[in-house]
Chain A
């Protein structure tokens, strides 16, 4: 009983990100300006022009609340015309549908993952 209690206490002392988390070979690592941000990965087929596409997202953090995904064209100063839908499909795993890039050029995908203490912000540049 004492030994079991000691082992249980050790688990409580471990950091939140205790689940095995890594992207697959097909996934790109997302960038973050926050050095403390957990690793995050994204994958999608080459986006079609002005048609909906999906992406798969992994964020290696078990304490996430809502996750928002959006995109903009930094050089044109406009975003997408449609609201993507983010669905949680597992711990730290999300499917995003309804992404539409309606112009060729540089797009910046932005991910904001809410946590109790602070939001995690990630991004990835995509050339269409």
Chain B
């Protein structure tokens, strides 16, 4: 009998009891990543923000190739809902191959700047950027107004904005941008396993919090600690919304560079479509402080916007040039970062941290826990 009991003791594995692995300081830090989702609020610069009719029109326009000059390309051609609102390619394919990866459209409400280089400070201006880009939808304001006037959308447009014939082509263009923006503002992801963990910790519910994957918790500790991810991926949207150099080369060819934020700021400050401009519907210009006070720094060269990590597992490939095919390669990129490639003047945030294979798995598990739970 004793022999059988001894064998049982040795052979039957102990079940590792789930627990919260974070220190008190880490718990305090993780609480800053909630709550999610954010409370909806309308964009004061867009008079049709939150308007159900504008959202419906924006959604129809999003899928309609009349927004391109030759009628072949819609917003959804590159921002495919089935592909994380991206295209799954390293670099976008417009009329030519574009310089950068197609970013997702999820959670844009959480952003201050748009596009990899922050060329725009609001969603309606960002929405018309690809429409006018000769390398993408290649339209112009006159052509767009004409196409819209002849389309099935004209009645919905006029219900919202008034007689299209009384609008200048530029007014019609901006109104299309605002309808598109109203739709994209609704693309907010839901709760994730990580959010359930944060919510449980906020309530002091250790039992529920302990159900969060132990591997993801270990990964979270790396995220906060030696990975230094939490310097840039902060807050409920898991992004500071600002721009950084992460040692991804910015050469497009041996003779061309992508200047990133440096060029983006030049475009922004020349644009008539900013929150400080005449097309903003906000008389207070309440959010224009950013475009008015943003600094143009030499160190902006070759920096790119910190993306949100929500649903990151669904938006491969990664980085501004789509050069990293999966999350594992992203983690290894940071873990073995080449300090010689960091070019921001003297900035000292990242350094290699040489994760073990198990630690890489854990950090990937944490990133995967940022995928929204399936909705009913």
Contacts and interface: CB of A to CB of B under 8 A. Distances in A.
Interface in B272-323: 289-290, 293-295, 297, 299
Interface of A: 49-50, 52, 75-78, 80-85, 97-98, 102-105
Contacts of B349: 76, 78, 103
Contact of A83 (B232, B293, B299): B293
25 contacts: A49-B234, A49-B240, A50-B112, A50-B240, A50-B242, A52-B289, A76-B231, A76-B348, A77-B347, A78-B347, A81-B297, A82-B289, A82-B295, A83-B295, A84-B293, A85-B293, A97-B289, A98-B289, A102-B241, A102-B242, A103-B232, A103-B234, A103-B349, A104-B29, A104-B234
B249 interface: no
Interface residues of B, number: 24
B295 A77 contact: no
Contacts of B29: 104
A81 B240 CA distance: 12
Contacts of A76: 231, 347-349
Given A77-B347, A78-B299, A78-B344, 13 more contacts: A49-B235, A50-B112, A50-B234, A50-B242, A75-B348, A77-B348, A81-B242, A81-B297, A82-B289, A83-B294, A98-B293, A102-B241, A104-B234
B230 interface: yes
A50 B293 contact: no
A105 B293 CA distance: 23
Contacts of B294: 81-83
Contacts of B347: 76-78
A76 B232 CA distance: 12
B32 interface: yes
B290 A82 contact: yes
Given A76-B347, A76-B349, A105-B231, A49 B289 contact: no
Main secondary structure of the interface of A (DSSP, over half): loop
Contacts of B241: 50, 102
Top 4 A-B pairs ranked by shortest CB distance? A50-B240, A82-B293, A77-B346, A102-B242
A55 B232 CA distance: 24
Contacts of B297: 81
Contact of A103 (B240, B295, B299): B240
Nearest to A84: B293
Nearest to B234: A49
Contact of B295 (A49, A81, A85): A81
Interface in B202-238: 230-232, 234-235
Contacts of B240: 49-50, 102-103
Contacts of B230: 104
Nearest to A77: B346
A50 B235 contact: yes
Contacts of B231: 76, 103-105
A60 B176 CA distance: 55
Contacts of B299: 78
A104 B28 CA distance: 13
Contacts of A105: 231
A81 B241 CA distance: 11
Contacts of B232: 103
Contacts of A102: 240-242
B348 A49 contact: no
Contacts of B243: 81
Interface string B27-54: 0010010000000000000000000000
Interface in B234-279: 234-235, 240-243
A31 B196 CA distance: 43
A119 B230 CA distance: 37
Contacts of B112: 50
Nearest to A73: B349
Nearest to A98: B293
A98 B29 CA distance: 24
B348 to A, nearest CB: 5
A82 B292 CA distance: 9
A81 B294 CA distance: 6
Contacts of A77: 346-348
B354 to A, nearest CB: 21
